[in-house]
Chain A
Amino acid sequence: MSAAEGGGGGGARGGGLRGNPFFVLELPVTAGPREVEREAARLLGMLELGLAAAATYQTPLGPMPRRAEDVRTAAAALREPKRRLVAELWASGGVAAAAAPTTAAEGAQTGAATGAGAAAGGGDVRWPGALKATGWGPR
């Protein structure tokens, strides 16, 4: 899997923590081939019917959107021993459904990381329409 695939912004991409096949299919790493096929078929059916229960899956990074393509990719990955082995390693940490931080907390952490804390730098005070109010327009 390439770096770009691994770091994709959400949804299954066949590996890593975001698109881990076990997370996509909501299966334990002990699941055998038959369980994999059964679960994939069940999820595909649910997605086809547009059931909300199948629309997302849990990962350590929070819920990710699930598409039929993701389910097929996940099932294919688990059929191949080497890819399954890597997926098992990723899924073995006991963190699969660790809830993602709330948006507010995430925002606060991002701000701290970039040193761009809005409130600390007065960034929460703005002058909306400053250019317009001073004659820059457009009208």
Chain B
Amino acid sequence: MEGIATATASWNGGYVRASLPPRGVIVRTDRGQTLGEPNNPEQQRRILKTTLDLLAQDAPVDIVVLDERD
């Protein structure tokens, strides 16, 4: 998107590594719950903030892997 800073989080690491978005977070959650478990707002906020924090960096930004299952 020209002139607009973008960031994404995805559970699908294969797609992120293949499509190479300017700022991407791979989250080890499951399909259908990209931002975390239902009714776990702390986890959802953590994933969301990790993703949005990347907007403060010039792209390209190295893909971030966030293992929320640890």
Q: Do A and B come from one complex?
A: no
Q: Which residues from chain A sit less than 8 Å from chain B, CB to CB?
A: none
Q: Which residues from chain B sit less than 8 Å from chain A, CB to CB?
A: none
